[in-house]
C-alpha cells in the first residue's frame, strides 16, 4: 500500500460502522477520493471537525484497493462565513455537487479544483449573487461545453440572440429559436462571464437577469451531466410555505 499527500475539498461524508465515516473529496492530483476516516464521529477525534463537507484540507492517505484511509488531516480553510449563511451554503453545496459529478477517481483535475477553491474563497468574502451561475458557466467552458454566445449557435448569424438551447450548444437568433427564451440582459451576463469580465459581474447586485443567468447555467449543467442536480431542489434560504401549516411562519 502506498501513502500519498494531496489537498482536498470535502464533498460529503457517510457514516460507517460505530464511529467511522467514508469521506468523499475532490483533489487536484487524485481526482475524486473516497476514503475511510476512522473514529471521527467520537467527540474526542481531532480530525472529525476538519472532515466536514466544504472544508479545504491537506491530507495524508494510505491507498487502498477500494477505499483509501485518511491518516492525517490539516485544515486549510473551513469557510465559516459560508457555513453560517443559508443562502451562501446552498450555492456552495451546488458547486460541490457539480464538481463531484465532473470528477473521476484517479484522474487529476488541477484546474477544476483551483476553480472550486477560488469560488469558495470568493463566497467566503462576499455573498456575490451571481457566483453560482458564473461558476457553472466556467466549469462548462473548462469541460469543453462553452456555449456559443457571440452569434447564433445554429446559423452563425450575428443578430440579436433570443433563446438558449443547451443541446444546440448555445444561444439562438430569432429565426432559429427553440428551447428557452432569454432576455438580452442574461445573454450579456453570460458573455461577460466567459469573456474575461467575471470580476465585474461578481460585484453586481442580484436582479432578474442574474436569476435567469443562474437558471440557464444550472439547466445547462444538468443537460451535460444527464442528471438533475439534487442541491438546487431545496432552497434553504427561504423556508418554504409548504412546510408550514397553512403557510404560517414562512
Choose one: 38-46, 62-70, 172-180, 207-215; the region binding another protein (CB under 8 A).
Answer: 38-46
Helices (H), 6-109: 80-83, 86-102
Does 248 participate in binding another protein (rule CB under 8 A)? yes
Helix (H) or strand (E) holding 220: helix 208-225
CB 170 within 8 A of CB 150: no
Answer for the pair 61, 35: CB distance below 8 angstroms, yes or no.
yes
Q: Where are the alpha helices (DSSP H) in 69-203?
A: 80-83, 86-102, 110-125, 131-142, 184-194, 198-202
CA-CA distance, 42 to 138, in Å (whole number)? 39
Query: Of residues 139-178, which lie at the interface with another protein (CB under 8 A)?
Result: none
Minimum distance of another protein from residue 94's CB (angstroms): 8
119 is an interface residue for another protein by CB under 8 A: no
Nearer to another protein, 83 or 215 (CB): 83
* C-alpha cell read off for 10: 470535502
Q: Applying CB under 8 A, which of residues 1, 43, 65, 66 lies at the interface with another protein?
A: 43
Q: Is 18 in the site for another protein (CB under 8 A)?
A: no
Could you give the angle at the alpha carbon of 114 between the alpha carbons of 108 and 117, nearest 5°? 125
Cβ-proximal residues to 144 (8 Å cutoff; 6+ apart), any chain: none
Nearer to another protein, 65 or 233 (CB): 233
Rule CB under 8 A: say whether 39 interacts with another protein: no
Q: Which is nearer to another protein, 27 or 55 (CB)?
A: 55
Number of residues that bind another protein (CB under 8 A): 37
Nearer to another protein, 139 or 153 (CB): 139
Q: Which three cell numbers stand for residue 37?
A: 476516516
- Cα angle for residues 131, 198, 182 (degrees, 5° grid): 70
54 in contact with another protein (CB under 8 A): yes
Stretch binding another protein (CB under 8 A), from 131-139, 189-197, 215-223, 233-241: 233-241
User: Which range of residues in 30-38, 44-52, 108-116, 162-170 is near another protein by CB under 8 A?
Assistant: 44-52
Judge residue 82's burial from the number of C-beta atoms within 10 Å of its C-beta, 0-12 exposed, 13-18 middle, 19 or more buried.
buried
Site for another protein in 86-105 (CB under 8 A): 86, 89-90, 93-94, 96-97
Among 8, 28, 48, 133, which residue interacts with another protein (rule: CB under 8 A)? 48
Region from 56-64, 116-124, 138-146, 230-238 binding another protein, contact rule CB under 8 A: 230-238
CA distance 239 to 230: 17
Note the residues at the interface with another protein (CB under 8 A): 11-12, 43-44, 46-50, 52-54, 75, 78, 83-84, 86, 89-90, 93-94, 96-97, 230-231, 233-234, 236, 239-240, 242-245, 248-250
Amino acid at each position: 500500500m502506498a501513502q500519498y499527500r494531496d489537498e482536498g475539498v470535502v464533498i460529503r461524508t457517510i457514516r460507517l460502522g460505530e464511529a467511522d465515516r467514508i469521506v468523499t473529496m475532490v483533489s487536484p492530483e487524485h481526482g475524486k477520493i473516497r476514503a475511510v476516516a476512522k473514529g471521527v464521529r467520537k467527540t474526542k477525534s481531532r480530525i472529525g471537525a476538519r472532515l466536514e463537507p466544504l472544508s479545504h484540507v491537506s491530507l495524508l492517505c494510505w491507498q487502498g484497493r477500494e477505499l483509501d484511509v485518511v491518516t492525517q488531516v490539516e485544515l486549510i480553510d473551513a469557510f465559516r462565513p459560508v457555513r453560517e449563511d443559508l443562502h451562501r451554503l446552498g450555492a456552495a453545496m451546488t458547486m460541490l455537487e457539480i464538481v463531484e459529478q465532473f470528477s473521476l477517481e484517479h484522474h487529476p483535475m488541477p484546474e477544476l479544483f483551483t476553480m472550486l477553491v477560488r469560488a469558495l474563497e470568493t463566497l467566503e468574502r462576499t455573498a456575490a449573487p451571481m457566483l453560482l451561475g458564473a461558476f457553472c458557466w466556467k466549469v462548462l467552458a473548462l469541460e469543453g461545453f462553452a456555449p456559443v454566445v457571440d452569434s447564433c449557435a445554429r446559423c452563425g448569424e450575428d443578430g440579436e440572440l433570443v433563446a438558449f438551447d443547451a443541446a444546440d450548444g448555445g444561444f439562438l437568433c430569432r429565426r432559429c429559436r427553440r428551447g428557452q427564451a432569454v432576455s438580452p440582459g442574461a445573454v450579456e451576463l453570460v458573455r461577460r462571464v466567459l469573456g474575461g469580465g467575471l470580476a465585474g459581474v461578481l460585484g453586481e447586485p442580484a436582479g432578474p437577469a442574474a436569476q435567469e443567468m443562474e437558471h440557464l447555467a444550472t439547466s445547462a449543467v444538468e443537460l451535460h451531466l444527464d442528471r438533475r442536480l439534487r442541491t438546487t431542489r431545496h432552497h434553504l434560504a427561504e423556508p418554504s410555505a409548504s412546510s408550514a401549516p397553512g403557510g404560517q411562519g414562512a
